[in-house]
Structure 1
């Protein structure tokens, strides 16, 4: 018997996953996380893949329409919404597992009192191209696991959410994958927006690549102080490959800044800085922190410029 699947967040990843699940006959709903008190409606959503196009009618609802959930909750919103989402989920009856389809460190903390919470490191790329239309490309199966190694029942969950177009797999040591992805994103999401350039900069520019290596070295050293042992060269190679393959594409933080939206830098560079503070060695990640602070300042400055232009 298929469990009900609720995807919180109707962005590109959420929409793509909803379509692929519906394609396989799974009972799925999209839950809008940024608005509430809107009647449920059916949306015709299209996903454009590398070779095929998929289209499904997906129920789209809000939290006010949910009183009970029995099944699986997949969270695909921005990480800064997690506190509010956790509060809303606590008010809902039923029994459900939570999977965070997000990037960042300690983003699972708002859900620490929930029974089953898993992290997923996405190895897929999806972008909104129109109203209820997204593009999607899967690089490889996305690993899913519990940060504390509590993976009971994960096999059944993976079976429910896995599809041929959007694959998931069990990963018992998800901590390594989370840290590797965060470190790479600390470099991309700070350096690229500050240079106002695309992801290919590390492939094209040796100086930018050297700066990214500084970030990687700092973060790997911090991870070691938490008894998490990462391969610095492996992360550098991954960054170079991603930069080459995503040449011309803009990283999410840069897109957020350009569109005057809140960024997720707090769960990346600035969370890394917080973890360094807790070890009593803030100097371990001084460059990583500085880059994060500059992104924070850049975002605020651009939003103020927008406000001033609207007033004038």
Structure 2
């Protein structure tokens, strides 16, 4: 059924995960779709629903503040009611993605479209195996956002976003599915483009996150300080060199562009942002480090490749996490 003929229920977009990116994309969708309750949040449980203030506040990088009234439901309530979820943005942490999706499995059909926002690439590869071909999309973004208060998010850096399929499928059907989907997403406001080589895009984002995220925990700083602090900059450059050597040697990794140059661009564009890993450490929550530097070190070990800088940073973040629990 064409998008403009769908019922409000079937055309609603659900965003599972109310972190910084989940809130940012929920409000962007609501602003774009311009329908009452066009977007809804899916949160952990009824306690989270009870604590939800009924609206999300977005503080723009220009200092403007907007508030969006968006309903919230628990995964359990939706699953018990078998409420249909035809359009889903999965924005929870990588380590929670599989269980989160399983929690709303009764709501999903073979025609449900799922857009993945997770860092890394391992979880994307896993989730696409369990869904019908062409129903799982990946969204890679360079937007910067961090949580100032619960459900109050600072959009700290205007970035871009790329939408594609994994595994890539440059066919007429894939192009049609991507074109239809991007028409329903806030393509203009969030600068979304279609990418037919999503694997390369995700590997590059993975490499950038491996370079930036753990290092912001090590120096306890915003992204931009990795470049303005001379010692941190030297550390970052050395880390990029090691990551590039690893990705060049790992057979499953596609050829990537110059990582140091790309990392400098991302750190500059998101200079006022706190990486998601540092935000998790500050909020005493589990991080995605096992899906970033942890997985890189695992891949390096499989191929007998040394990775001392990544290994040191991985252990540093693990120790910081352990001290919370």
The verdict on a shared fold, with TM-score over 0.5 as the criterion, is yes
Ranges in structure 2 where 5+ consecutive residues have no aligned partner: none
Q: What is the TM-score normalised by the length of structure 1?
A: 0.84
CA contact (8 A) 1:138 1:165 kept: no
Runs in 1 of length 4+ with deviation above 4 angstroms? 36-42, 245-249
CA contact (8 A) 1:185 1:268 kept: yes
* Within-5 A mapping of 1:230-269: 230-232=256-258, 235-247=259-271, 249-269=273-293
CA contact (8 A) 1:102 1:122 kept: no
In the alignment, the residues of structure 2 paired with residue 132 and residue 143 of structure 1 have an alpha-carbon distance, to the nearest angstrom, of: 25
Give RMSD over aligned pairs.
2.6
CA distances 1:63-99 after superposition (whole Å, capped 9, x unpaired): 1232143522101111111121132233324331111
The answer to which of 179-188 and 210-219 deviates more is: 210-219
Q: CA deviation at 1:37?
A: 7.7
Residue of structure 2 in register with 1:85 after alignment: 100
In the alignment, the residues of structure 1 paired with residue 269 and residue 108 of structure 2 have an alpha-carbon distance, to the nearest angstrom, of: 44
Residue 255 to residue 78, structure 1, CA distance change in 2 (3 Å): same
Q: CA deviation at 1:123?
A: 1.9
Partner secondary structure for residue 107 of structure 1 = helix
CA contact (8 A) 1:187 1:212 kept: yes
CA distances 1:163-203 after superposition (whole Å, capped 9, x unpaired): 54323221111122212222121122222212333323331
Q: How many residues are paired up?
A: 298
Residue of structure 2 in register with 1:117 after alignment: 136
CA contact (8 A) 1:143 1:169 kept: yes
Residue 38 to residue 296, structure 1, CA distance change in 2 (3 Å): closer
The answer to which of 90-99 and 239-248 deviates more is: 239-248
CA contact (8 A) 1:9 1:75 kept: yes
Residue of structure 2 in register with 1:14 after alignment: 22
Ranges in structure 1 where 5+ consecutive residues have no aligned partner: 305-312
CA contact (8 A) 1:69 1:93 kept: yes
* Within-5 A mapping of 1:172-187: 172-187=196-211
Residue of structure 1 in register with 2:55 after alignment: 44
CA contact (8 A) 2:223 2:273 kept: yes
CA contact (8 A) 1:198 1:248 kept: yes
